[in-house]
Structure 1
């Protein structure tokens, strides 16, 4: 009996030590991971800024709609002003931690040590910490793909409160950027299409909830637009941005040569001196400024973009395929995060002057950020991850036995393709559009590695939650 007593005591002591160790790891993860995610901003001394940040921030103050600048995200930035925007970064870091651990939990992989190791791997090899440290919508693009996946396919594994939070988060992410909304909409459509083949894996209730997030996100954007501008209208600029991509491909110049001077377009006098790129035309110093920018050119750009689709369908299709393929491999970190951002600086100086001093003191404003060395790691990791995710998806389709990891890989593959098509065809290929999403491909590869090397006898007893 004495031996049995001491044996039971030893077992209880081991269980207690294991619980204390797990508790310590949980707290370590809860504190260390957000700090690591915000390491670039902490090192910089101020949240990272980008070309587009000022346009979003100004929405609260200027009271009118501008192309491609969501009022939903503008309001989100406005409410973080008094904290020096650190409130925004805190939300982004905590949301990232929450969704990463929630994904691990629904996959029955949720050990604190794993979460820490996986997060460190993502932080060291992907754009994730730079996205979390930046005042831009990009962090929500990848996170919303994961949140939609959990809501649709694993809603039965999470609590009602978590479902509500995931729904609200996904809807908010959809409202922050039209491309994110488009990707999520495409994923929901794909879900409805394949559901007859995967009835046991995709529940109608989950798909309905996921689809409603798109509706809620669109309603959120329309409501914010109306509240700030008095217009019940969608964020403008889609046709103008698409026009810019067609200009870059030479289609606009051809259309003007075929139709001027028979049709009196404002651009006819400039048809032989159009800029080489969409960025130069829309955001540089070009005839676009002379002709009134979007207010003066929206109707004409929309007309040319629409009619050139009908007149040059094969050229447009070839350009779209090329742009999509190019966008898939444009994945470098840091595009637009430079030291010279006059518009963003001007907006902060005009509307948030109390943040001017810390902004000017930041390393970014002194040109101390160089992404060349970082991309020696990030670009190969991103491209390899993309290939592996496509391979995991393709293998599952070939074997016709998709498990939960294969379904996540397929979701991420479709998201990457949809993102490449939407961004590449409408805006033209940019590294920023690829980098904001490709880190979730690396995440899937890490999950596959965890599952491959995990012990077969693991149970849910090691699960964690925050």
Structure 2
């Protein structure tokens, strides 16, 4: 198993691995290269600008300006509540800022791809640990090409969003669980850094990490599993959970210190319950007596969860149409509203949430993810001129059909990979023991947990699951390597790490 973690001894071998990782990075970036620019999404604007927003808040606080300047429209309405949202990670925004300083906007894509390519090296070695470097290097390149061209990984590597880090999180945990006790300190630190960064980059990643860590901790209660897993299997993810929670707390404290008010989380669960039905029924049955702030907008219900949160018209939208102090009140009452809805409509609520969690497993559309000319108004209003020009010059801008093509690619590659894994399992050719079997188990568990976390707490939405289903083609490739690849590469014995 040392083959998985030891560095090559000769400079020639090190250079070969550097070249392999560089080539793998390039292969994973192919969608962005063909597009002529990284892809952007609605939320990308927030990630591109949050560091500047936080810097402005700090500057105003240090200048002793007192109360923050508020838009004239808000002053006229008497609403001087300054909102900072928690749904966009300032830490990923810092990552984007750093990448852009290094290599421009393309730097975001390159660092995404580099992280995945580097992680694929030890993962590929799990499939054939006795094989020589040449075989492993070729396998890494094949996997990078397959993921970049034939799965959703290429799209999400090329997207200025933290989505790709959900898959990196699952892979890093899988490696820690599979071979954590035999990893050296550099490898443990590197994997821990990937997990911690993923936890800092999005709240859903932190929830996924905490759930996986909790399940691992439960397994550790059994002596047989405790001997197999080892302390590192739970210790590293648990430390990353602490780092993620500390990061969230630090952001909240910073916002509270600079603005005098805590950040606000959009009420996704409220929107989901309203869209699903029980929340709307509860409002219609109990308002205005129940006293919820949402009662004032019950005539707009039911409405789609995205319209509830983001639509700016008063017929279908709620959250984005109300003053800031009402937004804060809607967010603050979310937990109470959820519990009240559950108490009033227990069967409908639980059944609906479970159904949506299962539905998220195969909700894989990315039709509205990469921006095309259909998003011209939003692009012009939310993004900097530099980003607008680059996006409008990209290949996908005047070819909106390419977005649904990414959806078909994601759905087909996922279906074929799932079928391939099932065939190997039925044929008894899928690894059942050993590190690769553990990695496969962790990845499948991560796929299921991600669906339930996103589908239940938000709502089924294609991007939520499409961002990680590229794990299935990867697992199929690894299973094929382990089953049909050579145990050793002839002529490579003298080069072995």
Bin the TM-score by the shorter chain: 0.7 to 0.9
Q: Is the 8 A contact 2:307 2:318 kept in 1?
A: no
Matched, 1:258 2:285: yes
Q: Which residue number corresponds to residue 304 of structure 1?
A: 337
Report the Cα offset of residue 224 of structure 1. 4.1
Q: Is the 8 A contact 2:51 2:94 kept in 1?
A: yes
Q: Which residue number corresponds to residue 273 of structure 1?
A: 300
1:52-201 equivalent positions in 2, closer than 5 A: 52-63=43-54, 65-82=84-101, 83-107=103-127, 108=129, 111-195=136-220, 196=222, 197-201=224-228
CA–CA distance in 2 between the matches of 1:95 and 1:224?
25
Q: Which runs of 5+ in 1 are unaligned?
A: 1-18
Q: Is the 8 A contact 1:60 1:228 kept in 2?
A: no
Instruction: State which drifts further: 326-335 or 89-98.
Output: 326-335
Instruction: State which drifts further: 229-238 or 190-199.
Output: 229-238
CA RMSD of aligned residues (A): 3.3
Matched, 1:247 2:278: no
Q: Is the 8 A contact 1:26 1:112 kept in 2?
A: yes
CA shift in 2, pair 1:287/1:207, >3 Å? closer
CA–CA distance in 2 between the matches of 1:149 and 1:137?
19
Q: Which residue number corresponds to residue 486 of structure 2?
A: 455
Q: Is the 8 A contact 2:176 2:232 kept in 1?
A: no
Report the Cα offset of residue 323 of structure 1. 0.4
SS in 2 for 1:58: helix
CA shift in 2, pair 1:444/1:292, >3 Å? same
SS in 2 for 1:437: coil
Matched, 1:373 2:405: yes
CA–CA distance in 1 between the matches of 2:441 and 2:425?
5
Deviations 1:95-132 (A, max 9, x none): 01000112112441661111111222222321111111
CA–CA distance in 2 between the matches of 1:461 and 1:156?
26
CA shift in 2, pair 1:330/1:390, >3 Å? farther
Q: Is the 8 A contact 1:153 1:202 kept in 2?
A: yes
Q: Is the 8 A contact 1:148 1:210 kept in 2?
A: yes
Q: Which residue number corresponds to residue 230 of structure 1?
A: 257
Matched, 1:348 2:378: no
Q: Is the 8 A contact 1:66 1:235 kept in 2?
A: yes
Deviations 1:172-193 (A, max 9, x none): 1111111111111111112122
Q: Is the 8 A contact 2:181 2:232 kept in 1?
A: no
Report the Cα offset of residue 75 of structure 1. 1.6
CA–CA distance in 1 between the matches of 2:116 and 2:397?
27
Matched, 1:321 2:354: yes
SS in 1 for 2:125: helix
Instruction: State which drifts further: 103-112 or 49-58.
Output: 103-112
Q: Is the 8 A contact 2:162 2:201 kept in 1?
A: yes
Q: Which residue number corresponds to residue 414 of structure 2?
A: 382
CA shift in 2, pair 1:164/1:345, >3 Å? farther
CA–CA distance in 1 between the matches of 2:263 and 2:28?
31
CA–CA distance in 2 between the matches of 1:56 and 1:373?
26
Deviations 1:159-203 (A, max 9, x none): 322221221121011111111111111111121222323234201
CA shift in 2, pair 1:157/1:204, >3 Å? closer
Q: Which residue number corresponds to residue 462 of structure 2?
A: 431
Matched, 1:44 2:35: yes
Instruction: State which drifts further: 301-310 or 111-120.
Output: 301-310
Q: Which residue number corresponds to residue 3 of structure 1?
A: none
Q: Is the 8 A contact 1:226 1:233 kept in 2?
A: no
CA–CA distance in 2 between the matches of 1:219 and 1:138?
21
SS in 2 for 1:199: helix
TM-score, normalised to structure 1, is 0.84
CA shift in 2, pair 1:464/1:209, >3 Å? farther
Report the Cα offset of residue 144 of structure 1. 1.1
SS in 2 for 1:407: helix
CA shift in 2, pair 1:53/1:401, >3 Å? closer
Matched, 1:29 2:20: yes
Deviations 1:63-117 (A, max 9, x none): 3631411111122122234443222222111101000112112441661111111
CA–CA distance in 2 between the matches of 1:99 and 1:266?
48
Report the Cα offset of residue 156 of structure 1. 4.2
